[in-house]
Amino acid sequence: MYNSVSSKKNHRIVSGARASGRLHLGNYHGILKNWVELQSKFECYFFIADWHALTTQYEHPQAIASNTREMLLDILGVGVDPELCTLFVQSQIPEHAELHLLLSMITPLSWLERVPTYKELRQKLKEQHLATYGFLGYPALQTADIVIYKPEWVPVGEDQVPHIELTREIVRHFHHLYCQDKPPIFPEPQPLLTKTSKMPGLDGQKMSKSYHNVIELREDPVSVEHKIKIMPTDPARVRRTDPGEPEKCPVWRFHQTYSTPEVQEWVLEGCRTAGIGCIECKRPVIDAVLREQAPIRARAQEYERNETEIKLILKRGAEHARETAQATLKEVRQVMGLIESNVGTK
């Protein structure tokens, strides 16, 4: 099955998504749609980062397994095809942990401490005791996740760019320490910024679970319709006869993602002249979201009914990922002068 993968363009990419549970439309338009596009162009390693979820959820690890499963269903549902890419769960590949350990030895604390997401999240989740070794090491683990597959590119959102920069720095440091008179082992991976359509939440802020403004990818149609119907609109439109301004309305942002230019024109004109009402304006959005979700829900349901298939997908993905990961680790141990491992290898 992987013949199709290896014969594909010689460019490899790696991307992970932290196991956070059911995905929403923002995740779809920001990340998953892109994975689907990339899988037929490049040799792709896609995984669910369940250990990364543990860095903030170590007090309640029970939820991570079911979150991982729900996410997998979402990922398969949108059309990420395990025949076209290598799809796996991070914790099934112990080699990530070994490489993380080795990289942690050479990574200066100050590099980790200055990562913006570290400072922000610690501040945001103050009550969660994030003064842990594992949380600080988040980007070092991410570095191991990435470089173990030697990719050229890492498709990520804007917020992850500092992590990729740190990855490049750690790679350079590693080569400086261990590969002075040898060819470098790792490429310096580049972020592949996704041309995301910025998908706002129901309230116009960024769509995010912590803001309670999401529509889940496989959300029940009745609930989707209800949520959009009660979405706030331009506050200037108190009465049906009051004109409004789409730029001040989160519904318009949905139209920008979901509607044709004709419908968009209808909204701009109708809103500004009070020619249409807000309920009317929301209808095409509701229909478009439901239309987008239907095939995703159907595909996910098929997988959901087929437990054996899911197990097999993960098993195959892990086997293939481990082969690549083990080969890299072998080189790493060699250049560092460590003794050959005779455990865990095939």
Residues within the interface to ligand TRP (CB under 6 A): 14-18, 49, 52, 142, 145-146, 154, 156, 160, 163
State the nearest-atom distance from the C-beta of 274 to ligand SF4, in Å. Answer: 8
Q: Is 315 a catalytic residue?
A: no
Contacting positions for ligand SF4 (CB under 6 A) = 233-234, 237, 244, 246, 249, 251-252, 267, 271, 276, 278, 281-282
Pick the catalytic residue from 41, 124, 315, 330.
124
Place of tokens 């309920």: 279
Q: Which does 251 bind (CB under 5 to 8 A by kind): ligand TRP, ligand SF4, none?
A: ligand SF4
Q: CA separation (Å) from 272 to 106, 236, 243, 250, 265?
A: 59, 11, 5, 15, 11
Beta bridge partners of 45: 14, 86
Residue 229 annotated in active site: no
Q: Which residue number has the CB closest to ligand TRP?
A: 16
Smaller CB separation from ligand TRP, 44 or 249: 44
Active-site residue, selected from the candidate residues 8, 209, 227, 248: 209
Q: List all residues 6 or more positions away from 204 whose beta carbon is below 8 Å from its beta carbon.
A: 232, 249, 250, 253
Tell me 133's DSSP state. H
Catalytic residue among 8, 33, 206, 248: 206
Please list the residues that pair with 16 across neighbouring strands: 47
Which of ligand TRP, ligand SF4, none does residue 150 bind to, with CB < 5 to 8 Å depending on kind? none
The two beta strands, 86-89 and 190-193, are unpaired
Find the helix packing angle between 250-258 and 261-272, rounded to 10°.
160
Nearer to ligand TRP, 19 or 76 (CB): 19
Q: Which ranges constitute the DSSP H helices of 29-156?
A: 33-39, 50-57, 62-77, 94-106, 109-113, 116-124, 133-136, 138-147
Provide, rounded to whole angstroms, the least separation between the CB of residue 330 and ligand TRP: 21
Q: Which is nearer to ligand SF4, 55 or 233 (CB)?
A: 233
Query: Which CB, 190 or 256, lies closer to ligand TRP?
Result: 190
Q: What is the DSSP letter of 341?
A: P
Angle in degrees, CA 284, 285, 289, rounded to 5: 115
Closest approach, Cβ 260 to ligand SF4, in A, equals 15
For the CB of residue 113, give the shortest distance to ligand TRP in the complex, in Å: 17
Closer of 100 and 218 to ligand TRP (Cβ): 100
29: partner contacted, choices ligand SF4, ligand TRP, none (Cβ within 5-8 A by kind) = none
Q: In whole angstroms, how close is the CB of 282 to ligand SF4 at the nearest point? A: 6
Contacts of 327 (CB under 8 A, 6+ apart): none
Q: How far is the CB of 242 from ligand SF4 (least distance, A)?
A: 9
Q: Which does 12 bind (CB under 5 to 8 A by kind): ligand TRP, ligand SF4, none?
A: none
Q: Which does 168 bind (CB under 5 to 8 A by kind): ligand TRP, ligand SF4, none?
A: none
Distance CA 244, CA 237 (A): 5
- Rounded CA-CA distance 121/233 in Å is 31
- Let me know if 124 is a catalytic residue: yes
- Rounded to whole angstroms, the Cα distance separating 15 from 155 reads 6
Q: How far apart are CA 27 and CA 30, in angstroms?
A: 5
Integer Cα distance of 326 and 63 in angstroms: 29
Residues acting as catalytic residues: 124, 206, 209
